[in-house]
Amino acid sequence: MRRAALRFCSLNKGLLIPGRGLTQGSQNPEKQRVFHMHEVRDKLREIVGASTNWSDHVKAMEERKLLQSFLAESQKELPPRRMRDSYIEVLLPLGSQPELREKYLTVQNTIRFGRILEDLDSLGVLICYMHTRVQEAKMSPLSIVTALVDKIDMCKTSLSPEQDIKFSGHVSWVGKTSMEVKMQMFQLHGNEFCPVLDATFVMVARDSENKGPAFINPLIPESPEEEELFRQGELNKGRRVAFSAKSLLKMAPSAEERTTIHEMFLNTLDPKTISFRSRVLPPNAVWMENSKLKSLEVCHPQERNIFNRIFGGFLMRKAYELGWATACNFGGSRPFIVAVDDIMFQKPVDVGSLLFLSSQVCFTQDNYIQVRVHSEVASLESKEHMTTNVFHFTFMSEEKVPLVFPRTYGESMLYLDGKRHFNSMSTPVNLRKDYLVEP
């Protein structure tokens, strides 16, 4: 099974670099070199004209209003782009620049996956700006934001804080106002960069003031590999629509799922009484309500993005770290991330907001722990809470974990939703001692 996971990543490796030469032939000389990760955020600020000083943010946003006239009125007005036009390689030199390590280091001398989520989010936005770039314009009239983390699959067992990491990625599918971005992460082992993860993000383009949708350049595949990538992007879009349509918030569970829940209910009835109210846990089981952890974050200006909202990567890092702690507390041993699935950014988070995170184990199987993190935001002036994100993380524990049992109908729906997300994992992996990806 482990070989199957690595084979899956090697196949994606061939697809993610169509023609294995996306940096060649680019008309943008800046993409002939490899960026360093610290340059990515600087480049994004330059592209949108954002200031590094919070006191200047109002002036910067007023200046962006003047860019509205540069927006296309239809997609037909925009020149088509190739996948190679958006291809970027970014280096995180943890090995050659040891002073960078502390930001990424865990106490177990491994890499903080939450920091990797932040880097992927920034990189995905920069890739989209490369696709939509207007050579003659100093600043982009588009506001590009992360709409969805469709999937992150881990496909390498070892992450060392003492070896360089390389990211690469490009736009793989384009609609009228949205883009799918494929990214990979590699780590240096010996003289070769070996694949670590595959990520698929969906970005949306909005106008200069980030108030409405904006058209983006169409994408033209140039090879059979690129055509396959583009086709897969279309299939991914259809899959997301179908998954949403079958959401348990909209439709009743299937007959098989209803049977599963009823059998779990029967397994918790007290055999000493003839009552539906008397519930007891089976051996090696935990009530779902006892698997929760919560946290609160005050959203300071330091965590803002280039549009002066809270950085999506920061939200992912905080949700992931709470999810990891939940899995650790539940399983009783160190968990390791296997997959990230279906993170929808439903509402932006304003600077100064209170961010409430609630994490819960919603499904378990053997060594696997499926964790759901729910994110709500409230302003300092208002007590009204609004959902901003729901995060889904799949962890694997060093030991077999207890079963989790729902008590209520609502918890039963969470269980089924967690089971659906777990079953959507591309390729299960077997735990090895060098599988060291932590908060």
Q: Which residue range forms the structural domain that includes residue 87?
A: 31-246
Cβ within 8 Å of residue 223, ≥6 positions away: 18, 19
Residues 122 and 266 in one domain: no
Q: Could you read off the pLDDT of 79-102 as tens digits, one per residue? A: 999 999 999 999 999 988 888 888
Residues 104 and 124 in one domain: yes
Residues 232 and 256 in one domain: no
Other C-beta atoms lying within 10 Å of the C-beta of residue 286:
16
Q: Which two tokens stand for residue 381?
A: 């002036």
Q: Which helix (H) or strand (E) holds 60?
A: helix 57-65
Cβ within 8 Å of residue 184, ≥6 positions away: 12, 13, 16, 167, 168, 169, 195, 196, 197, 198, 199
Q: Does residue 20 fall inside a structural domain?
A: no
Is the pLDDT confidence value at 191 over 80?
Answer: yes
Q: Does residue 437 fall inside a structural domain?
A: no
Residues 291 and 203 in one domain: no
Q: Compute the average pLDDT of residues 100-110.
A: 87
The residues facing 371 across adjacent strands are 361, 393
* CA–CA dist 211, 115 (Å, integer): 29
Residues 46 and 193 in one domain: yes
- CA 352 vs CA 310, 342, 379, 429: distances in Å: 9, 26, 7, 40
Q: Could you read off the pLDDT of 1-32 as tens digits, one per residue? A: 333 343 345 434 444 443 333 443 344 544 45
| Last-in-domain residue among 246, 268, 284 | 246
DSSP label at 398?
Answer: S
Pairing state of beta strands 35-36 and 88-92? Answer: parallel
Q: Could you read off the pLDDT of 116-131 as tens digits, one per residue? A: 999 999 999 999 999 9
Q: Does residue 91 fall inside a structural domain?
A: yes
How many folded domains does the chain comprise? Answer: 2
Pairing state of beta strands 354-365 and 335-345? Answer: unpaired
Residues 270 and 395 in one domain: yes
| Last-in-domain residue among 194, 224, 246 | 246
Cβ within 8 Å of residue 104, ≥6 positions away: 92, 94, 111, 112, 115, 116, 161
Residues 178 and 134 in one domain: yes
| Last-in-domain residue among 229, 246, 263 | 246
Q: Does residue 106 fall inside a structural domain?
A: yes
Per the model's pLDDT, the better-predicted residue between 302 and 16 turns out to be 302
Q: Does residue 438 fall inside a structural domain?
A: no
Helix (H, G, I), strand (E, B) or coil at 276: coil
For 207, phi and psi rounded to 5 degrees?
-70, 180
Q: Does residue 72 fall inside a structural domain?
A: yes
pTM of the predicted model as reported, rounded to 2 decimal places: 0.85
Q: Does residue 18 fall inside a structural domain?
A: no
Residues 263 and 408 in one domain: yes
Q: Does residue 22 fall inside a structural domain?
A: no
Q: Residue 81 maps to which CATH number?
A: 3.10.129.10
Residues 215 and 303 in one domain: no
Q: Positive or negative, the Cα torsion across 320, 321, 324, 329? A: negative
Residues 198 and 340 in one domain: no
Residues 201 and 303 in one domain: no
Residues 51 and 170 in one domain: yes
